[in-house]
Amino acid sequence: MSIELKEITVGNPTTKRAFTTHLSYDRARDRLIYPTGKCVTLRSLDKGGQSWVFTGHKYPVTTAKISPSGFYIASGDEAGNVLIWDCSQEDMIIKSEFKVLSNRINDLAWDADSKRIIAVGNGTDKFGHCFTFDSGNSIGEISGHSNQINSVAIKPTRPYSAFTVGDDSNVVFLKGPPFKFSQSNKTIHNNFIKMVKYSPNGKIAVSVGVDRIISLFDGNTGELIKSFKDISKGGIYAVDWVDDESFLIASADAYLRVVNTDGSVVQEWSLEYKIENQFLGCALVGENKFVGLTLGGSIYVFTASQKDPLQTFYSHQVSITSMVKLKENADLFSGSYDGKIIKHSPSKGDELVSGEEHKGLIVSLAEVDSKSIFSISWDDKLKFIQNEDFPSISTLEDLEKQPIDLKVHNKNAVILFEDEVRKYDSTGKFLKSFKLSYGASAFDVSENFVVITDAQNFQIHIYDSELKSINETNFLRSKPTCVAISGDEKYLVCGDIQGKILLYGLQDFSLITSRWAFHTSKINSLKWSPDNEYCLSGSLDTNIYIYSVEKPARNIKFLNAHKEGVNCVEWLDEKNIVSAGTDSCIKYWTVEY
């Protein structure tokens, strides 16, 4: 009896407007490395490759860089911590951990020996620190800045030196190790400098910023060679070298450009100009393959031979809050905290649902049929998703208050609010309403039953399909958070905020077992298996459990399934399940009974 991970759909990088997202590339394993919330994602760019997620940080991760040797990754977070961990094995064991700054780490860089690291960011007493990766011994001092440092680059060839750039419009050149201030240039840039990078041969360093200026410096002396203006119509947020004579830049004008060291544009790719298409990150990933990251969180892979993207990776950037598996096909839809909805299709991959998108947390997704889905959100809107080749979403109705949950009954949307239940048809037409005399917390709807739980006195209210009361004799010990009626309408499970699950019989409304009490925190999702013999649960405690009706004392579990909590679970069939969580990941599991 076991639950084994079969496949993972990883999240996309965390983005913030006007802030660079640093991308790193693992050449040996063809993986793109970046921060996603409190995790570091190692996304395989090869369709047959395996993606990994590192979950060792306690605070949101801000940057992650792979060592030149390819064996270690150093990652920094918002609390000033740097973790160095093994990326060559799936266990991803932490080698060392250091508190280097009092505040956010903005960037870090390895030396060519994979032994020294410079971490920069925002601190109270200093803006950067240089240290050895194993012992943490200091190897110099980062000085010369009056404001936070945004980026650092270490010369990839001996003798070593380094550049740092920051919000003070200052480019600082350091010699070392031990690293120490050599000279600075405050005149060439006139606004925030976002990134600096050495060429592969170490002869030139390039800096870019929101002032749209590109500056080239001598890699050995730190002297300014030349600068270019007006190449980009928007701020430049990221740069990566293509070879010793050209580099890739990512701009807020929705362009990726390859620029020569003489200032000429070799090649460029563009997206439709809108805020979410501003490029905030870029990287060279293999020969003649270029990655661009947009503010909207989409990852585009371009090639030198074509203008259109070779690949596009759509995925969630924040906590996944709702998920639905369509019954008649293998399509899966997921919604997240930021209002984004994504279709996951085995045949076509992941597609972004576009149109009149939600503006807040996706509360619930519910299947109408194989071609259509209802959705509700904290933007207080009921919307309709068309499951077509290019999935789209449109608004049906303004609900005017915040919904709690959504179910479908006879192709009509049944929506639970704190003080009432409403029904709408598939066009958004209001059909009827049922006022509640108590504050509701959760509900479920089947062919003949409607079950609603009371948030104040923890009571379970059972109604028929016309919302006439049948039974109100059962209570939970704490606030109910989730209920589920079995497909054959024989059983009812109720989960509460403390992690306890109670199983009832819907024939006589009696308690069958209260022994499903292995979770230690809020129950977020309950789903019945297709044969109605097992109940799948996901909880804030990060764990997944499968309980048996026939043998209530036995269970199958997988601990730490999702960092920060499991928010949604679904059955794919009797032996396969899927889960989604706060880590922005969707995981597919195989169950052995």
Q: Which residue has the tokens 């407007």?
A: 17
Q: Which residue has the tokens 């048809």?
A: 425
Percentage of the chain surpassing pLDDT 90?
Answer: 96
Side-by-side strand order, sheet with 341-345:
320-325, 332-336, 341-345, 349-352
Q: Comparing C-alpha atoms, which of 13, 56, 541 is closest to residue 238?
A: 13
Q: What is the pLDDT of residues 118-151, one digit of tens each?
A: 999 999 999 999 999 999 999 999 999 999 999 9
Rounded CA separation 263/26 (Å): 29
Give the Å distances, CA to CA, from 484 to 20, 125, 405, 527.
44, 54, 12, 6
Q: What is the pLDDT of residues 343-366, one digit of tens each?
A: 999 888 999 999 999 999 999 999
Q: Comparing C-alpha atoms, which of 17, 20, 18, 49 is closest to residue 34?
A: 20
Q: Comparing C-alpha atoms, which of 469, 461, 422 is closest to residue 441?
A: 461
Q: DSSP for 76-112?
A: EETTSEEEEEE-SSTT--EEEEEE--SS-EEEEEE-T
Amino acid at 543: N
Does residue 566 have a pLDDT over 90? Answer: yes
- At 236, the pLDDT band (50, 70, 90 cuts) reads very high
Query: What pLDDT score was predicted for residue 47?
Result: 82
Averaged pLDDT, 311-327? 97
Query: What pLDDT score was predicted for residue 48?
Result: 78
Q: Are 538 and 579 in contact (CB under 8 A)?
A: yes
Averaged pLDDT, 167-192? 97
Pairing between β-strand 392-398 and β-strand 354-355 as defined by DSSP bridges:
parallel
Does residue 328 have a pLDDT over 90? Answer: no
Q: Are 306 and 317 in contact (CB under 8 A)?
A: no
Cβ burial of 89 (10 Å; 0-12, 13-18, 19+) is exposed
Query: What pLDDT score was predicted for residue 49?
Result: 87
Q: What is the pLDDT of residues 475-525, one digit of tens each?
A: 999 999 999 999 999 999 999 999 999 999 999 999 999 999 999 999 999
Which domains, and CATH codes, for the chain? 22-240 (2.130.10.10)
Query: What pLDDT score was predicted for residue 111?
Result: 98
Rounded CA separation 565/426 (Å): 33
Q: Which residue has the tokens 């001092």?
A: 141
Q: Are 334 and 315 in contact (CB under 8 A)?
A: no
Rounded CA separation 428/209 (Å): 48
Query: What pLDDT score was predicted for residue 412?
Result: 97
Mean of the per-residue pLDDT values of the chain:
97
Reading the block at residue 399, the tokens are 């609900």
Does residue 330 have a pLDDT over 90? Answer: no
Averaged pLDDT, 437-445? 98
